[in-house]
């Protein structure tokens, strides 16, 4: 299977002038109260790119859908188990698409029934679909299949402009692999930290090794705040609660190691960091064990 970005190059070939047409469903002019409510609660528009490119979906850009909305946010997914990843788009990247969407809304007919037009292009192995939703109404802007490039905009140029814009952002923001089983396993370990970091007094708190062993009070042992692992160190916890959660922590770490393999060590890590346990004792702030303020720069 060719990589997505290789397949993308095929679309730079000039689309042939001759085409075929087939009827396409359009949206009703009237919206139900439920649709009107959804439109009011949602961003003014959303544009979605979905790509079908074989079996390795976790290594295919936009295989699980890539959506950009009018509020400047992107969303990846949902994955097979409902995984979602989202975040903001840089202002300079978003401006180009936002301007294009505003212009394109004038040539994407949500109200009128319009025949789908298709033109021939070089055959590719992937299929792409772009959907544009405006005020709760959805329209298929374009889709590809084999050597056909089909669109429902007034012109093929309008469809290509939207297609290229959303594809460009997908290449920038759709991180692979997705879903990321390793990142999910690491998060599962870190989500356990809150179960053993509660406290009533500072005497409850102790520093921890990166294998969740309690470091004796006043020990000169080095406490790691970053050990280059994809799993963030807990650093501090309630000593009694840590003992009670040892088996659960061990199982979660074993799962992460099995899933992540060599990715357990972050490639971008330049070295470990931390401090001596004897530098200052951990504190209990708002009933949570924490590193003392004087050591939080580590």
Per-residue pLDDT at 19 exceeds 60: no
Query: How many separate helices (H) and strands (E) can be counted in the chain?
Result: 7, 15
Per-residue pLDDT at 30 exceeds 80: no
Look at residue 175 in the predicted model and tell me its pLDDT.
92
pLDDT, tens digit (0-9, with 9 covering 90-100), for 46-60: 999 999 988 888 899
Both tokens of 209, joined, read 């090794």
Per-residue pLDDT at 33 exceeds 50: no
Output the average pLDDT for the chain: 85
Domain boundaries, the chain: 4-173, 181-295
Closest CA to 125 of 43, 40, 51, 231: 51
Look at residue 16 in the predicted model and tell me its pLDDT.
35
| Distance from C-alpha of 198 to C-alpha of 238, rounded to nearest angstrom | 6
SS3 of 205, please?
Answer: strand
Closest CA to 151 of 192, 117, 101: 117
For residue 278, what are the CA distances in angstroms to 229, 288, 293? Answer: 24, 20, 15
On whether the CB atoms of residues 132 and 45 are closer than 8 A, the answer is yes
| Distance from C-alpha of 123 to C-alpha of 112, rounded to nearest angstrom | 31
Look at residue 176 in the predicted model and tell me its pLDDT.
93
More confident position, 16 or 288: 288
Look at residue 40 in the predicted model and tell me its pLDDT.
54
Report the range out of 13-27, 101-115, 188-202 with the highest average pLDDT.
188-202
Per-residue pLDDT at 233 exceeds 90: yes
Contacts of 292 (CB under 8 A, 6+ apart): 280, 281, 282, 283
Continuous segment of H or E residues that includes residue 7: helix 4-8
More confident position, 243 or 16: 243
Residue with tokens 């294998």: 211
pLDDT, tens digit (0-9, with 9 covering 90-100), for 203-214: 999 999 999 999
Sheet containing strand 127-134, strands side by side: 19-22, 116-120, 148-151, 137-145, 127-134, 45-52, 66-69, 73-76, 85-88
pLDDT, tens digit (0-9, with 9 covering 90-100), for 126-180: 899 999 999 888 989 999 998 999 998 888 998 999 999 999 999 999 999 999 9
Helix, strand, coil percentages for the chain (3-state, nearest 5): 35, 25, 40
Q: Which contacts of 96-105 are long-range, i.e. CB under 8 A and separated by 24 or more positions? A: 96/165, 97/47, 97/68, 97/165, 97/166, 97/169, 98/70, 98/72, 100/161, 100/162, 100/165, 101/45, 101/47, 101/70, 101/132, 101/162, 104/132, 104/141, 104/153, 104/158, 104/161, 104/162, 105/45, 105/134
Closest CA to 258 of 188, 175, 177, 193: 188
Q: How confident is the model at residue 104 (pLDDT cuts 50, 70, 90)?
A: confident
């Amino acid at each position: 299977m060719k990589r997505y970005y290789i397949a993308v190059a095929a679309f730079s070939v000039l689309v042939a002038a001759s085409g075929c047409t087939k009827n396409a469903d359009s949206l009703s002019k009237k919206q139900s109260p439920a649709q009107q409510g959804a439109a009011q609660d949602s961003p003014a528009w959303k544009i979605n790119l979905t790509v079908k490119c074989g079996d390795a979906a976790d290594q295919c850009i936009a295989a699980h859908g890539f959506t950009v909305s009018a509020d400047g946010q992107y969303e990846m997914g949902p994955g097979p188990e409902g995984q979602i990843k989202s975040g903001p788009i840089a202002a300079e990247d978003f401006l180009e698409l936002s301007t294009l969407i505003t212009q394109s809304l004038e040539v994407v007919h949500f109200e009128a029934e319009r025949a789908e037009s298709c033109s021939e292009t070089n055959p590719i192995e992937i299929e792409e679909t772009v959907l544009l939703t405006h005020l709760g109404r959805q329209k298929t802007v374009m889709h590809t299949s084999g050597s056909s490039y089909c669109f429902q905009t007034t012109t093929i140029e309008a469809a290509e402009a939207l297609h290229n814009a959303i594809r460009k952002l997908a290449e920038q923001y759709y991180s692979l692999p997705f879903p990321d089983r390793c990142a999910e396993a690491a998060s599962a370990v870190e989500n356990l930290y809150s179960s053993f970091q509660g406290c009533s007094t500072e005497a409850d708190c102790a520093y921890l090794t990166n294998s969740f062993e309690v470091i004796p009070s006043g020990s000169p042992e080095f406490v790691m705040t970053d050990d280059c692992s994809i799993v963030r160190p807990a650093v501090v916890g309630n000593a009694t609660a840590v003992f009670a959660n040892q088996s659960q922590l061990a199982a979660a770490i074993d799962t992460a190691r099995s899933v992540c393999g060599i990715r357990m060590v972050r490639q971008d890590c330049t070295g470990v960091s931390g401090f001596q346990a004897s530098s200052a004792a951990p504190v209990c702030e708002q009933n949570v064990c924490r590193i003392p303020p004087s050591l939080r720069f580590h």
